[in-house]
C-alpha cells in the first residue's frame, strides 16, 4: 500500500491559515454582479467595532456560511457582505474611558478633536472583530467591507433623513423619552432592558384641599412626587369617583393637585389612586397630554434634583433625594407605610444604569405609517423561521411608538439640520447650507445631536449595495435572500430594516428571516462573564480547530431550541474530524497517487451498491436540510453517513476487494471509493470548510483545486437501489449479532468462531451465500453454514435477525468454569464495596454534614455498582443457560 500524501494527524492551525489566505488572495468569494447565475445575497449583522467574538456570533456566522457555501454549489451568484457598526454610545464610552486615564474629558478636546480621537481608535482597534470573523472561515467578500459610518453609508443616512423629513415622517418636538444619566443621552424604547427588581410601595397621604378627607397613594418612586401635577382615580371606582373635580395638597410642596378620572387606573393595583407625574413616567405623560396637565421636570440631565423642586432638595442625586424625601414624609406624618414590592426596572442596554423617563426636545420618526407596511409584508413577502416569532413581530408593530432617533453624543451621524438664529427657520438639506433658505442669514447653527446607531443599520440591506447610487450590486442582489440573526434584535434591527427597505426600495429587504437560538452552557444557563460559564469560540478554535467548533454548533442548531454547549461536545467532534482525516488517508494510500479510471457502473458487490445508494440519499437530505434551515439534521446526516456507514462499514467491507489481485473487482471498487470520498467532501464542505478543502486539494485527478467553487454533486438516480438497502440491513444485523455474542460472552477478538444460521427466506439464504466470505472477514469467523433447516448445538450463543436465527457454538470458544469463577470474584468485590457505601449513606451524620457533592458522588457510585451487578448477573445467567 502506498504512502498517503496527508500527514498522519490533522493539525488544523496551519491548514486554516493556508486556506484563509488562499481564498482571500484569490478573491474566491468576490462575485461579479454582471456574471451569470441567480443572485443569492446575505448581509452580515454588523457587529460593534468595540466587540469581540462570542459564541452567539460564532453560531450566526457558521449558519450564514453554510448557506453561502451551499448556494455557490448550486451555481448561484453569491454575495455575502461583511461590515461593522460604529456603535455610537458604546464606542464613545470606550474612548472616554481612555481619556479619563489621561485626566481628560471629551469637552477638554472639543467635538472635532474628540471625533478624530475616536477614528484613530477605530483604525487601531475597530477591526479586531473582523479578524475574528475571518478566523471562523466566513466566506464573505472582503473587498466590499462596509462600516455604518463610512462615506457611502453616511450618504445613504443623509438621503433617508432628508426624505423622511420632507415627507413629514421625521419631526422634532418635546416628548418624554428614555434617558440614561450616565451616558447622557436619549434611548429608544427597545434599547431599554427591563428586569424585575426588589423594591417598595410607599403609601403616602395626600390631604384634600377642602379638609374633607384624604387620599392614600401608593408609589414606587417617592422622589418623583415633587413633580406631581394631578391625582387620578378610575371613574368607575365607587370609593373615589365622588372626589373627581376636587383638589388635594401635595406633601412637602404644598401645591394643589386636581383629582381627575380615567379608566386607565387599575382599581385593584396599589390603593386605586395614582399620582400623576407627567415629566417622569411614560404612562403619566400620556395621561398628562390627555388631560392637559402641567409638566414639571424635577431632575436635570445628570439625575440631580433641579430648581423646579423645593430648595432643600435641589442638587441631590435622585437616589439620595429618595432617602431624604421618605424621611421628611415620615417626619410630617404623611408616610403611612412601606411595603416590599417587586417591580420592573428599565436599564440602559449599554451601561446598565437605571433609565430615567425625561422630557426634552428630541428628533423622532413617525413609526405607524412605516409599521403598517412592514406588518403586512409578513408572511407573504418575508417569511420568519421559526414561525412562532411572527406573533412577537406583529405585537411589537401593533403597539409601536414613535422612535426617538436623536442621541446626545458626538460619535455618530450628526443630524443634518440647521436652525437660523435670525428667523428660527429649520433647514434640512442633502448638502450643508451656508445661509438660511428663508431669510438669507449666515447665522445658522447645526444640531449637536447625532442619530441613533440603529438608524444607519436599518438601511444596511440596501446601503451596503451602494444606495442611493444605482449600482450593479443593488440591481443584482437586492432584496437579499435571507437574514440570520438572534431574537434579541428582532425589534432593534429586523423590523426597522423591513420598514426602511419597503419605504425606500418598494421591496422587502429579505425574503427569509431565520431567528437562531441562544447558545447556553451545558446546564442551560445563559453564558455571562459574571457567572464564569462563558465558552470562548476563539479558544475552542485554538484548542480543537474551527471545523470541530462549527460542526458542534451546527449539530445542536435545532430550529427554535436553545443550544446547550460544553467543551466536551466540541472535543467529541474533533474526534469526528480525525475520523474523516484518517478515512481519507486510507483511501489515498489505495489510490497510489492516481485517479481510478474504471466506471462505478462496473462495481459489483453489496457494499458498493449500498454506499452509492446512500450517497444519493445523503445528497437529498443535505439539500432539504439546508434549504429548510434544519441545520442540526444536516450535521446528523453527515455524521451518521461518514462515521457509521462510510468508515465503520463500507471501508471495512471493501478491504477484500482493495487487497485483491483481481483487477475486475479492485478497479471499480477504487472508483466507487474515490467518488464517494470526493463527493462527500463537497457535501460536507459548507459545514467543515477547512478539513474538506485540505483533503480535496490532495485527491488525485481533481480539476479544480478550490473546493469552494465546486458545484453540488449531480444526482445519479440509476445508483439508487432499495434492494441494496434491504440486503445491507440484514447483512449488518448478522455481523452485529455475531459481534454482540462475542462481546457479551467475553470471547477474545482473535478467536475465530463458527456460525450456523437458520434462514427464514430464500432471499436471506441467497444473501448469506453470496457474501459468506465477507461475513467471515468482518465477524472473524472460521466457517459459515446457512439453510432453512440448520440448528446449532445446545451450548451456543444465539441471536435473531429479521427472523433468521444465528448460532455460535461455544465449545472450545469459552472456558465456562474459569469464566464463572471470575464472575464470582467480581461479585464478591462489588458486594464488599456496596457494604461500605450503603453504611455511609445510612449514616444521617454523613448525609447531613458532608458536602453535597461528596454525598452525591457516593450515591452515583452506589448506582454504578447496582448497574454493574445487574449486567454481570445477566452474563452469568447467559453462561449458565448455554452450558445446559
CA–CA distance, 678 with 93 (Å, rounded to integer): 51
Rounded to 5 degrees, what angle do the CA atoms 480, 481, 484 make? 95
Q: For 637-689, what is the HEC assignment?
A: HHHHHHHHHHHHHHHHHCHHHHCCCCHHHHHHHHHHHHHHHHHHHHHHCCCCH
Q: Extract the C-alpha cell encoding 601.
A: 457502473
Does 479 sit behind a cis peptide bond, omega within 30 degrees of 0 on the bond before it?
A: yes
Which string of b and e fits 581-617 if b means at least 16 CB within 10 Å? Answer: bbbbbbbbbbbeeeebebebeebebbbbbbbbbbbbe
Give the pairing type, strands 170-180 and 185-187: antiparallel
Instruction: Name every residue whose Cβ is closer than 8 Å to that of residue 6 and which is 6 or more positions away in sequence.
Output: 581, 584, 585, 588, 694, 695, 698
Is 529 part of any known ligand binding site?
yes
Query: DSSP readout, 424-436?
Result: --EEE-SS--SS-
* Other residues' Cβ atoms within 10 Å of the Cβ of residue 877: 10
Q: What is the DSSP letter of 847?
A: H
Provide φ and ψ at 116, rounded to 5°.
-60, -40
Asked whether 481 and 510 are in contact (CB, 8 A), the reply is: yes
**Burial status of residue 380 (CB atoms within 10 A of its CB: 0-12, 13-18, 19 or more):** exposed
Does 837 sit behind a cis peptide bond, omega within 30 degrees of 0 on the bond before it?
A: no
Q: The cell 428571516 sits on which residue?
A: 513
Query: DSSP readout, 102-129?
Result: TT--HHHH-HHHHHHHHHHHHHHHTTHH
CA–CA distance, 692 with 527 (Å, rounded to integer): 31
Q: Residue 427's beta-bridge partner residues?
A: 418
CA–CA distance, 210 with 229 (Å, rounded to integer): 18
Q: The cell 452469568 sits on which residue?
A: 876
Nearest to 476 by CA among 465, 463, 468: 465
- Known binding-site positions: 529
Q: Could you tell me which residues are annotated as the binding site for ATP?
A: 529
Amino acid at each position: 500500500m502506498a504512502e498517503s500524501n496527508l500527514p498522519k494527524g490533522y493539525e488544523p492551525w496551519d491548514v486554516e491559515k493556508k486556506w484563509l489566505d488562499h481564498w482571500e488572495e484569490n478573491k474566491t468569494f468576490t462575485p461579479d454582479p454582471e456574471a451569470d447565475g441567480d443572485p443569492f445575497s446575505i448581509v452580515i449583522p454588523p457587529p460593534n467595532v468595540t466587540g469581540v467574538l462570542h459564541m452567539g456570533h460564532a453560531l450566526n456566522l457558521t449558519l450564514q456560511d453554510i448557506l453561502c457555501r451551499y448556494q455557490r454549489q448550486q451555481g448561484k451568484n453569491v454575495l455575502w457582505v461583511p461590515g461593522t457598526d460604529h456603535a455610537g454610545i458604546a464606542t464613545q464610552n470606550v474612548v472616554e474611558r481612555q481619556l479619563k486615564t489621561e485626566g481628560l474629558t471629551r469637552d477638554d478636546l472639543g467635538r472635532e478633536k474628540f471625533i478624530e480621537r475616536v477614528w484613530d481608535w477605530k483604525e487601531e482597534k475597530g477591526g479586531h472583530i473582523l479578524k475574528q470573523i475571518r478566523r471562523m472561515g466566513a466566506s464573505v467578500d472582503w473587498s466590499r467591507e462596509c462600516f455604518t459610518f463610512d462615506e457611502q453609508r453616511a450618504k445613504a443616512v443623509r438621503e433617508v433623513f432628508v426624505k423622511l423629513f420632507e415627507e413629514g415622517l421625521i419631526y422634532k418636538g418635546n416628548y418624554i423619552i428614555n434617558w440614561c444619566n450616565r451616558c447622557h443621552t436619549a434611548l429608544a424604547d427597545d434599547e431599554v432592558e427591563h428586569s424585575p427588581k426588589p423594591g417598595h410601595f410607599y403609601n403616602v397621604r395626600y390631604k384634600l384641599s377642602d379638609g374633607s378627607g384624604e387620599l392614600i397613594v401608593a408609589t414606587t418612586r417617592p422622589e418623583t412626587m415633587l413633580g406631581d401635577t394631578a391625582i387620578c382615580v378610575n371613574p368607575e371606582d365607587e370609593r373615589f369617583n365622588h372626589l373627581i373635580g376636587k383638589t388635594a395638597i401635595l406633601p412637602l410642596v404644598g401645591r394643589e393637585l386636581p383629582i381627575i378620572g380615567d379608566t386607565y387606573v387599575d382599581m385593584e393595583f396599589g390603593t386605586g389612586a395614582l399620582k400623576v407625574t407627567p415629566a417622569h413616567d411614560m404612562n403619566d405623560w400620556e395621561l398628562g397630554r390627555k388631560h392637559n396637565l402641567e409638566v414639571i421636570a424635577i431632575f436635570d440631565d445628570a439625575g440631580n434634583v433641579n430648581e423646579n423642586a423645593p430648595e432643600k432638595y435641589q442638587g441631590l442625586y435622585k437616589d439620595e433625594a429618595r432617602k431624604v424625601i421618605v424621611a421628611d414624609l415620615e417626619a410630617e406624618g404623611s408616610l403611612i407605610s412601606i411595603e416590599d414590592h417587586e417591580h420592573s426596572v428599565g436599564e440602559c442596554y449599554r451601561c446598565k444604569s437605571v433609565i430615567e423617563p425625561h422630557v426634552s426636545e428630541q428628533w423622532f420618526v413617525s413609526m405607524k405609517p412605516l409599521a403598517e407596511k412592514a406588518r403586512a409584508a409578513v408572511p407573504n413577502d418575508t417569511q420568519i423561521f421559526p414561525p412562532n416569532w411572527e406573533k412577537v413581530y406583529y405585537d411589537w408593530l401593533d403597539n409601536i411608538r414613535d422612535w426617538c432617533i436623536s442621541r446626545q453624543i458626538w460619535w455618530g451621524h450628526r443630524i443634518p439640520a440647521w436652525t437660523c438664529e435670525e428667523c428660527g427657520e429649520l433647514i434640512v438639506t442633502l448638502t450643508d447650507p451656508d445661509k438660511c433658505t428663508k431669510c438669507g442669514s449666515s447665522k445658522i447653527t447645526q444640531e449637536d445631536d447625532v442619530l441613533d446607531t440603529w438608524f444607519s443599520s436599518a438601511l444596511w440591506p440596501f446601503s451596503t449595495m451602494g444606495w442611493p447610487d444605482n449600482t450593479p450590486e443593488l440591481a443584482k442582489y437586492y432584496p437579499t435572500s435571507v437574514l440570520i440573526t438572534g431574537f434579541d434584535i428582532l425589534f432593534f434591527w429586523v423590523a426597522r430594516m423591513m420598514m426602511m427597505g419597503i419605504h425606500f426600495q418598494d421591496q422587502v429587504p429579505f425574503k427569509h428571516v431565520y431567528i437562531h437560538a441562544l447558545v447556553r452552557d451545558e446546564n442551560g444557563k445563559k453564558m455571562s462573564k459574571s457567572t464564569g460559564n462563558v465558552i470562548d469560540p476563539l479558544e475552542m478554535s485554538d484548542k480543537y480547530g474551527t471545523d470541530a467548533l462549527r460542526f458542534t454548533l451546527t449539530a445542536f442548531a435545532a430550529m427554535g431550541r436553545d443550544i446547550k454547549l460544553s467543551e466536551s461536545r466540541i472535543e467529541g467532534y474533533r474526534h469526528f474530524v480525525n475520523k474523516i482525516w484518517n478515512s481519507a488517508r486510507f483511501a489515498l494510500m489505495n489510490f497510489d497517487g492516481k485517479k481510478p479510471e474504471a466506471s462505478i457502473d462496473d462495481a459489483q458487490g453489496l457494499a458498493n451498491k449500498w454506499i452509492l445508494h446512500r450517497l444519493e440519499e445523503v445528497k437529498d437530505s443535505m439539500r432539504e436540510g439546508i434549504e429548510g434551515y434544519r441545520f442540526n439534521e444536516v450535521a446528523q446526516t453527515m455524521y451518521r453517513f461518514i462515521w457509521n456507514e462510510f468508515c465503520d462499514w463500507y471501508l471495512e467491507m471493501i478491504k477484500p476487494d482493495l487487497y485483491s489481485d483481481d483487477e475486475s473487482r479492485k478497479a471499480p471498487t477504487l472508483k466507487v471509493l474515490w467518488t464517494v470520498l470526493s463527493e462527500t467532501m463537497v457535501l460536507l464542505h459548507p459545514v467543515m470548510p477547512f478539513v474538506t478543502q485540505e483533503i480535496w486539494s490532495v485527491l488525485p485527478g481533481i480539476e479544480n483545486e478550490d473546493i469552494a467553487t465546486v458545484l453540488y454533486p449531480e444526482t445519479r438516480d440509476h445508483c439508487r437501489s432499495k434492494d441494496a438497502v434491504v440486503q445491507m440491513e440484514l447483512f449488518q444485523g448478522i455481523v452485529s449479532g455475531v459481534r454482540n455474542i462475542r462481546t457479551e460472552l467475553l470471547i477474545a477478538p482473535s478467536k475465530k468462531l463458527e456460525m450456523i444460521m437458520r434462514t427464514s427466506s430464500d432471499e436471506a439464504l441467497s444473501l448469506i451465500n453470496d457474501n459468506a466470505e465477507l461475513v467471515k472477514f468482518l465477524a472473524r469467523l472460521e466457517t459459515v453454514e446457512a439453510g432453512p433447516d440448520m440448528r446449532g448445538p445446545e451450548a451456543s450463543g444465539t441471536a435473531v435477525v429479521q427472523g433468521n436465527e444465528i448460532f455460535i457454538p461455544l465449545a472450545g470458544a469459552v472456558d465456562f468454569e474459569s469464566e464463572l469463577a471470575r464472575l464470582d470474584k467480581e461479585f464478591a468485590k462489588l458486594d464488599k464495596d456496596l457494604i461500605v457505601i450503603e453504611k455511609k449513606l445510612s449514616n444521617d451524620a454523613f448525609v447531613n454534614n458532608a458536602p453535597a457533592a461528596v454525598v452525591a458522588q457516593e450515591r452515583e457510585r452506589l448506582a454504578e455498582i447496582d448497574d454493574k451487578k445487574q449486567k454481570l448477573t445477566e452474563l452469568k445467567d447467559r453462561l449458565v443457560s448455554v452450558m445446559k
